[in-house]
Amino acid sequence: MNARSHGAPPSPEGDAFAPWRAVIESMLHAVWLVDAASLRVVAANHAAGTLMGVRAAELVGRGVLDLAATPEDLCFWDEVAGGLAESIESETFVCRLNGGTAPVTRRISRVDQVGGAAFYVVALHDRSEQFRAERALEASAADLRATLESTDDGILVTDLSGRIRNFNRRFAALWNIPDEMLMRREDDAVLEWMRRSVIEPGTYMRRLATIDDATMLQASDVLKLHSGTVLERVATPQCTSGRPIGRVFSFRDITEKLEARERIQVLSYTDALTGLPNRRLLADRVEVALAVAKRDSTPFALLFLNLDRFKHINETLGHTFGDRVLLEVAERIKCSIRQVDTVARLSGDEFVLLAHQADENGAEAAAWRVMEALKRPFNQGDLSFTVTASIGIAMQPNDGTSFDELMRRAESAMREVKHAGRAAFRFHRPRPAQADARSRSRMHLDHAMRQALAQGRFRLHYQPQVEIGSGKIVGTEALIRWRDPELGEISPGEFIPVAEETGFIVPIGEWVLRQAVKQAAAWQASGRPRAVSVNVSALQFQQPGFVDGVATVLREAGLAAEWLELELTESILLQDAQDAMLRLQALAQLGVKLAIDDFGTGYSSLAYLKRFPIGRLKIDRSFISGLPLDESDAGIVRAIISMGRALRLEIIAEGVETVAQRDFLQEAGCHLFQGFLFSPALDVMAFEAKFGAS
């Protein structure tokens, strides 16, 4: 393979280069020989062909200027041509004959042959690979930098001796490091800056020393800075070929996360309104108290406190007002207990007091103190009123040895206080065995009720309803009575709720309705007509044939509908307002009168009532009992009366026991009342004997 055989221009020297060809062919680098006079290639080795992208022979005869890629090259060969340069080593590019350029290191030396033509040996080292590697390295360095800068963590890379090798801007920002310090790469100053920024530099340095010593240690620490920032630092060893060469420290700002966690921690253990411990924290403290009690055999007490009629305050005066009252209650309870004791708010108006190392005397003293603290009148805005509480007490270990058990017992004691008339405290007392034997359990009551209805043991008593000014009887309320041969007299307050639960209230209610309507018809027949008011339970009211049933009962007794009034509870209106409306309209159409019983204890508002064909409101007796002195009761009663009157409703007060109560009601504009002041409910005979003439 020589120049001639490929039609390349013959070299002036002919075969003068033959020995050289053999020499350059054995070389690994690309080499070509250039005739010094013509500056044309006279010989090229295989590697030169590969470099230039052609067969080696095709290079022969080409002018070097054709193969030069840069202006410097052109100058160089010009100088060579002018005899100004003899040898050179440079980095340049050559033009590949199949397109593109290749980076090369080129060494050129001039050879002057004795008696022969001078030529240049041009040796070229292809740097394409190295070039590619460098580019790739640059690209990955750029990637690395972009990655470093795009993370939200501050990154600091050091070598094993702690010298800074790399960092990102976030690192500088988190540590608040001045720019110039980083720019000038004052490593010591940067490290000292970091040391001075942390709140506990001693611990910080000791920890750093540990990390330095253990090159393969992965460590995670929390650093608190004077600036208030809290950083999480993770130190990870950096290795190449499995050997550690330095460390990567990443810093994450966890200030907010930590604050949020602390907030959650506080929230999950305290009541949001009062800031008192909540049920969870109380449970924890009781667990601790139980452990101590077990070890030292010391008793402690749980006092379960429920505010009396707080719901009315909330309903009538609004939740904001209610919240303010709760806050003050919490404050007063807190001030009335010992520092070591805990008061927690469970929910709404329920508080629990944990009295440590307290026997019954201690628990009683605590209950008295709390009740005393609540006794002072509460003043909110223009209103002054009293708040009372019912407190149930359970003693550890007699009443229970677990949180749940003690709570249950204390709560049931509190409920007993409520039943007995509120505003007092009571210890949990196990039921006497005898009472259990009598077992007024639900099942037993239900069974006895069914028998009572079948055997005609229910009776009705009638309580007069009186015009407040004249004292004239305008109607009567039918109230059921039951004496069981075994259980004795059982009040409706006890068995009606059970009947409502079991559904037996429906047949009982039908019996009451029929009986009361019959009585009204009898009164009418005797020439002394009296209206009857009949209590109707929600379940009974919701029965599909209820309205028809009422019409039938009236027809069969021959009583005009206007002599019958049905006393409904607010819950009837709230359950299915649409359905309730249709029934109420049908009843009103019949001519039956409708009243809302126990008004004020439910959730309906007066404005809401306006939509229904209701004629009368009966103010619940729990509001009447505090009259006229309790300012909260007085305010509520006055509000109900004046708003009720504005809606053209007739207002009746129940449970009126004193003249003062009646006078207050009369002055406030109440139309009617019923209560022990005038008369309790009486059987028909007693009623006639007492009021026959009126």
Q: Is 492 in the site for ligand C2E (CB under 6 A)?
A: yes
Using CB under 5 A, list all residues that contact Mg ion: 535, 567, 597-598, 654
The single residue among 33, 41, 230, 480 that binds ligand C2E, judged by CB under 6 A, is 480
Tell me the CB-side half-sphere exposure of residue 270, using CA atoms within 13 A. 12
Q: Which does 507 bind (CB under 5 to 8 A by kind): ligand C2E, Mg ion, none?
A: none
Query: Does the footprint of ligand C2E cover residue 597 (CB under 6 A)?
Result: yes
> Which of residues 399 and 477 has its CB atom nearest to ligand C2E in the complex?
477
How many chain residues are in contact with ligand C2E, going by CB under 6 A? 25
Residues with Cβ < 8 Å from 252, sequence gap 6 or more?
A: 152, 153, 154, 231, 232, 234
* Closer of 104 and 681 to ligand C2E (Cβ): 681
**496 binds ligand C2E per the rule CB under 6 A:** yes
Figure out which of the listed residues 493, 527, 544, 545 binds ligand C2E, where binding follows CB under 6 A.
493
Instruction: Decide if residue 651 touches ligand C2E (CB under 6 A).
Output: no
Tokens of residue 504, six digits: 């037996």
Return the range that interacts with ligand C2E (CB under 6 A); candidates 321-329, 369-377, 487-495, 665-673.
487-495
**Least CB distance from residue 300 to ligand C2E, whole Å?**
37
Nearer to ligand C2E, 364 or 657 (CB): 657
230 forms beta bridges with 224
Cis peptide before 432 (omega within 30 of 0): no
Q: Which does 568 bind (CB under 5 to 8 A by kind): Mg ion, ligand C2E, none?
A: none
Segment interacting with ligand C2E, rule: CB under 6 A, options 58-66, 387-395, 651-659, 664-672: 651-659
For position 420 contacting ligand C2E by CB under 6 A, the verdict is: no
Least gap, CB of 534 to ligand C2E (angstroms): 6
479 binds, among Mg ion, ligand C2E, none (CB under 5 to 8 A by kind): ligand C2E
Give dist(CA 688, CA 278) in Å, integer: 58
Residue 186 contact among ligand C2E, Mg ion, none, beta carbon within 5 to 8 Å by kind = none
Q: Which does 99 bind (CB under 5 to 8 A by kind): ligand C2E, Mg ion, none?
A: none
CB of 291 to ligand C2E, least distance (A): 47
| One of 190, 225, 358, 512 touching ligand C2E (CB under 6 A) | 512
Which of Mg ion, ligand C2E, none interacts with 475 (beta carbon under 5 to 8 A by kind)?
none
Both tokens assigned to 538: 């929600």
Q: Is 665 in the site for ligand C2E (CB under 6 A)?
A: no
d(CA 391, CA 336) in angstroms, rounded, equals 15
Q: Are 343 and 370 within 8 A, CB to CB? A: no
Q: Count CA within 13 A, CB hemisphere, residue 80.
A: 27
- Judged by CB under 6 A, the chain residues 604 through 633 that form the site for ligand C2E are 621
Distance CA 120, CA 361 (A): 119
Q: Identify residues 528-557 at the interface with ligand C2E (CB under 6 A).
A: 535-537
Here the tokens at position 482 are 């039951």
Beta carbon of residue 599, minimum distance to Mg ion (angstroms, whole number): 8
Query: DSSP for 289-319?
Result: HHHHHHHH---EEEEEEEETTHHHHHHHH-H
Residue 316: φ, ψ to 5°? -85, -40
Nearest distance from C-beta of residue 590 to ligand C2E, angstroms? 20
The piece of 43-51, 182-190, 369-377, 488-496 that touches ligand C2E (CB under 6 A) is 488-496
DSSP state of 526: T
Instruction: Specify the 3-state DSSP secondary structure of 238.
Output: strand
User: What is the Cα–Cα distance from 272 to 295, expressed in whole angstroms?
Assistant: 34
CA dist., res. 394 & res. 306, Å (int): 14
When computed from its CA atoms, the radius of gyration of the chain, rounded to whole angstroms, is: 51
Dihedral sign computed on CA atoms, order 157, 161, 162, 165: negative
Q: How far is the CB of 605 from Mg ion (least distance, A)?
A: 19
Least distance CB 658 / ligand C2E (angstroms): 9
Distance CA 549, CA 630 (A): 43
Binder to ligand C2E among 286, 371, 649, 681 (CB under 6 A)?
A: 681
Nearer to ligand C2E, 551 or 566 (CB): 566
Instruction: Tell me how far, at minimum, the Cβ of 491 lies from ligand C2E, in Å.
Output: 5
Number of Cβ within 10 Å of residue 135's Cβ equals 10
Q: How far is the CB of 691 from ligand C2E (least distance, A)?
A: 15
Residue 202 tokens, joined: 């001693």
The answer to whether residues 29 and 54 touch, using CB atoms and an 8 Å cutoff, is no
In sequence order, what are the residues at sequence separation of 6 or more whose Cβ sits closer than 8 angstroms to the Cβ of residue 493? none
Report the nearest approach of ligand C2E to the CB of residue 280 (Å).
38
Report how far residue 179's alpha carbon sits from residue 369's, in angstroms, rounded to the nearest whole number. Answer: 65
From the list Mg ion, ligand C2E, none, pick the one residue 655 interacts with, judged by a Cβ distance below 5 to 8 Å according to partner type.
Answer: ligand C2E
Cβ-based nearer residue to Mg ion, 392 or 655: 655
The whole-angstrom separation of Cα 581 and Cα 587 is 10
Q: How far is the CB of 597 from Mg ion (least distance, A)?
A: 4
Token digits of residue 258: 């930590």
Q: Which of 396, 604 has the CB closer to Mg ion?
A: 604
Q: How many CB atoms lie within 10 A of CB 408?
A: 16
Q: In sequence order, what are the residues at sequence separation of 6 or more whose Cβ sits closer than 8 angstroms to the Cβ of residue 384?
A: 377, 378, 631
Give the nearest distance from C-beta 331 to ligand C2E in angstroms.
Answer: 33
Please identify which residue in 187, 350, 510, 657 interacts with ligand C2E, judged by CB under 6 A.
657
Indicate the residue among 121 and 566 with the shorter CB distance to ligand C2E. 566
Q: Does 510 bind ligand C2E (CB under 6 A)?
A: no
**Does 301 sit near ligand C2E (CB under 6 A)?**
no
Q: Is the peptide bond before 397 cis (omega within 30 degrees of 0)?
A: yes
Measure the CA–CA gap between 229 and 240, rounded to whole angstroms.
34
Ramachandran assignment for 582, one of left (phi > 0), alpha (psi -120 to 50 degrees), beta (any other): alpha
Measured CA to CA, the distance from residue 402 to residue 293 in angstroms comes to: 11
Check binding of 509 to ligand C2E (CB under 6 A): yes
- Residue of this chain nearest to ligand C2E (CB atom): 675
Of 384, 491, 575, 605, which one interacts with ligand C2E (CB under 6 A)? 491
Dihedral sign computed on CA atoms, order 236, 240, 242, 243: negative
The yes or no reply on residue 655 touching ligand C2E (CB under 6 A) is: yes
DSSP 40: B
Indicate which of Mg ion, ligand C2E, none lies near residue 628 (CB less than 5 to 8 Å, by partner kind).
none
Contacting ligand C2E (CB under 6 A), which of 168, 250, 314, 463?
463
Question: Tokens 């007509």 appear where?
Answer: 529
Residue 654 in the binding site for ligand C2E (CB under 6 A): yes
Return residues touching ligand C2E (CB under 6 A).
463, 479-480, 491-493, 496, 505, 509, 512, 535-537, 567, 597-598, 621, 654-657, 674-676, 681
